[in-house]
């Protein structure tokens, strides 16, 4: 398994891959190299044997504090644009990730770190986690999907309040507003996230991918069109060996052995 300069990778049971942003000295802020590493990892997953990806940050202080502003401090406008284009490709790769992607938010998720989390399929968070989209306090605005993903998760009016004021919010607020799915004690967060990932990884991988695709694509259209997208995804599974294996296993009262074919 390839190792990266800014990411630590670990394989876990259930064909789960854990990726840890490994820059704790800067609150796991992503610089140019970290964006390259995450983009390369995500692009490799289409041919990977992994069935679910969990993402967290090193240490117990931060999930990800967003872009590394110290690296950006001396950038010209041209350098800023060039780096942000790389960040845009990284964020789109998270959105397009073929595997289910779960964030384990172990600390602060600020700015681009919160945008990264919001692009994952869902998130569990430590009770000590904190969240914010702080860009308007820095003379910029969210540029990694935050104006779109936070509004979809928490609603338009809540997103406007949080983004325009750059106000941090708590883990309890994140749960109440639908920004995260579950709160965990800090010491239990990673274990509970990996358990959820393992449950996903034990299911038929083609089914999981098609269901994820149908949910995401269907929410962009009206209900009737979404149901047609669902049927299109469903019909791709009928001829698969995993569908046959699932039915055989049910009738034989045993656990299925899915192969992704």
CA–CA gap between residue 101 and residue 51 (Å, rounded): 10
Say if 257 falls within a structural domain.
Answer: no
Using pLDDT thresholds of 50, 70 and 90, give the confidence band for residue 2. confident
The two three-digit tokens of residue 15, written as one number: 């064909």
Q: Do 29 and 97 belong together in one domain?
A: yes
Q: Is 57 helix (H, G, I), strand (E, B) or coil?
A: strand
Region 134-155: mean pLDDT is 96
Instruction: Residue 71: name the closest of 32, 98, 18 by CA.
Output: 32
By percentage, how much of the chain surpasses pLDDT 90?
Answer: 90
The two three-digit tokens of residue 113, written as one number: 């770190």
pLDDT of residue 48: 84
CA–CA gap between residue 241 and residue 244 (Å, rounded): 5
Q: Is the dihedral of CA 62, 63, 69, 70 positive or negative?
A: positive
Say if residue 1's pLDDT is above 80.
no
Region 210-234: mean pLDDT is 96
How do residues 180-209 score in pLDDT, each as one tens digit?
Answer: 999 999 999 999 999 999 999 999 999 999
Q: Cα–Cα distances in Å, from 251 out to 8, 202, 240?
A: 41, 18, 17
CA–CA gap between residue 246 and residue 231 (Å, rounded): 19
List the CATH number of the domain containing 230. 1.10.12.10
Q: Do 135 and 59 belong together in one domain?
A: yes
Say if 258 falls within a structural domain.
Answer: no
Say if residue 217's pLDDT is above 80.
yes
Segment among 2-6, 110-114, 170-174 with least mean pLDDT: 2-6
CA–CA gap between residue 48 and residue 45 (Å, rounded): 5
Region 224-250: mean pLDDT is 94
Say if residue 19's pLDDT is above 80.
yes
Number of domains present in the structure of the chain: 2
Say if 259 falls within a structural domain.
Answer: no
Query: What letter does residue 144 receive in the DSSP assignment?
Result: S
Contacts of 79 (CB under 8 A, 6+ apart): none
pLDDT of residue 81: 92
Segment among 13-22, 78-87, 169-178, 196-205 with least mean pLDDT: 78-87
Classify burial at 129, counting beta carbons within 10 Å of its beta carbon; exposed 0-12, middle 13-18, buried 19 or more. buried
The set of catalytic residues is 115, 135
Say if 63 falls within a structural domain.
Answer: yes
Which domain range does residue 85 map to?
Answer: 7-201
Q: Do 196 and 210 belong together in one domain?
A: no
H helical segments located in the chain: 32-44, 69-72, 77-95, 112-119, 146-154, 156-165, 171-176, 189-201, 205-218, 223-235, 241-252
**What does pLDDT average to over the chain?**
95
CA–CA gap between residue 78 and residue 64 (Å, rounded): 25
Q: Do 64 and 156 belong together in one domain?
A: yes
pLDDT of residue 74: 85
Distance in angstroms between the alpha carbons of the first and the last residue of the chain: 23
Contacts of 231 (CB under 8 A, 6+ apart): none
Q: Do 54 and 139 belong together in one domain?
A: yes
Region 38-67: mean pLDDT is 94
């Amino acid at each position: 398994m390839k190792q990266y300069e800014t990411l630590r990778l670990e394989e876990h049971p259930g064909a789960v891959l854990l990726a840890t942003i490994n820059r704790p000295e800067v609150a796991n802020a992503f610089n140019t190299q970290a964006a390259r590493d995450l983009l390369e990892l995500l692009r490799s997953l289409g041919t990977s044997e992994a069935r679910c990806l969990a993402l967290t940050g090193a240490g117990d202080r931060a999930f990800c504090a967003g872009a590394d502003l110290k690296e950006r401090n001396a950038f010209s406008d041209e350098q800023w644009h060039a780096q942000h284009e790389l960040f845009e490709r990284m964020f789109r790769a998270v959105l397009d990730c073929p595997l289910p992607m779960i964030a384990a938010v172990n600390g602060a998720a600020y700015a681009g770190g919160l945008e990264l989390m919001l692009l994952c399929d869902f998130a569990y968070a430590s009770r000590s986690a904190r969240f914010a989209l702080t860009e308007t306090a820095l003379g910029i605005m969210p540029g990694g999907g935050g104006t779109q993903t936070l509004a979809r998760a928490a609603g338009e009016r809540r997103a406007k309040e949080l983004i325009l004021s750059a106000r941090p919010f708590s883990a309890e607020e994140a749960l109440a507003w639908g920004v995260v799915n579950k709160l965990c004690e800090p010491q239990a967060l990673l274990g509970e996230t990996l358990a959820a990932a393992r449950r996903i990884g034990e299911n038929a991988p083609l089914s999981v991918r098609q269901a994820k695709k149908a949910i995401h694509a269907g929410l962009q259209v009206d209900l009737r069109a979404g149901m047609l997208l669902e049927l299109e995804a469903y019909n791709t599974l009928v001829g698969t060996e995993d569908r046959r294996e699932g039915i055989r296993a049910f009738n034989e009262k045993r656990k299925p052995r899915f192969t992704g074919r």
